[in-house]
Amino acid sequence: MDLHVRYEGDDDPTKCSARKLARFDLAALHRSARATPTGIVLNPFAEQALAPGDANPPDGDGFDALVALDCSWETAEREAFDLRGRHRALPFLVAANPVNYGTPFQLNTVEAFAGALCILGDREHAEAILSKFRWGHTFLELNEEPLRRYADCTNSEEVVAVQQEYLDAGEGA
């Protein structure tokens, strides 16, 4: 699956995982929504969770691109995700990057791509993109169980049910 980034450029370029992916030709950066290809859009505001079936949906309207918006969490707004494609939210995952380590749902771009790739059944691709980051393997280690469980689901409702187990467990901690 090709990786595409709608790049805002509003965070620290030395810490930008999308720029690093582009330097290694592992993702394409796009400066405008119109230039960004249609695909599965990783959108934290989406009403439906990403599920394994999104890679090859029964309606035959599959996409061969994953699209992420790279912007600062402080400026991320619903309107910024106005991109063409099938919008899906990632379920509960914990960040391993040095800026947001241990924080649920605060993934950087490479973590979002890696989580999505694992859920969609392409862990090898996820490992390849994470290998460019010193802490990349940590993301997979921290999220080993949830990623495996999400990948075993058949639809978004099952993914949300698994996610709820993690959220309920966190409330008791």
Strand partners, 7: 70
User: By percentage, how much of the chain surpasses pLDDT 70?
Assistant: 88
Residue 136 has pLDDT above 80, yes or no: yes
Instruction: Report the pLDDT value the prediction gives residue 78, as an integer from 0 to 100.
Output: 57
Binding residues for S-adenosyl-L-methionine, as ranges, are 17, 69, 90, 109
Which of 20-34, 50-64, 122-136 holds the top average pLDDT?
A: 122-136
Residues 6+ positions from 91 with CB-CB distance below 8 Å: 49, 50, 119, 146, 150, 159, 160, 162, 163
Give the pLDDT band (50/70/90) at residue 145. very high
**Are 68 and 5 contacting, i.e. CB atoms less than 8 angstroms apart?**
yes
Binding-site residue ranges:
17, 69, 90, 109
Evaluate if residue 48 carries a pLDDT over 60. Answer: yes
- pLDDT greater than 90 at residue 59: no
Kindly list the strands in the beta sheet with 65-70, ordered across the sheet, starting from the edge strand earlier in the chain. Answer: 28-30, 2-7, 65-70, 39-42, 85-88
User: In the prediction, which pLDDT does 82 show?
Assistant: 79
If you average pLDDT over every residue of the chain, what do you get?
Answer: 89
Residue-level pLDDT at 22: 95
- Nearest 5°: phi and psi at 88? -140, 140
State which H helix or E strand residue 28 sits in.
Answer: strand 28-30
Alpha helices in the chain (DSSP H): 17-23, 109-119, 123-130, 136-142, 144-151, 156-171
> Cβ–Cβ contacts within 10 Å for residue 10, how many?
12
Q: Closest by alpha carbon to 98, among 157, 158, 3, 17?
A: 17
pLDDT digits (tens, 9 = 90+) for 68-82: 988 765 666 655 667
- Where does the pLDDT of residue 134 fall: very low under 50, low under 70, confident under 90, or very high at 90 and above? very high
| Nearest C-alpha neighbor of 173 from the set 96, 102, 91 | 102
On the question of pLDDT at 29 being above 60, the answer is yes
pLDDT (tens digit per residue) in 89-133: 999 999 999 999 999 999 999 999 999 999 999 999 999 999 999
Pairing state of beta strands 2-7 and 65-70? Answer: parallel
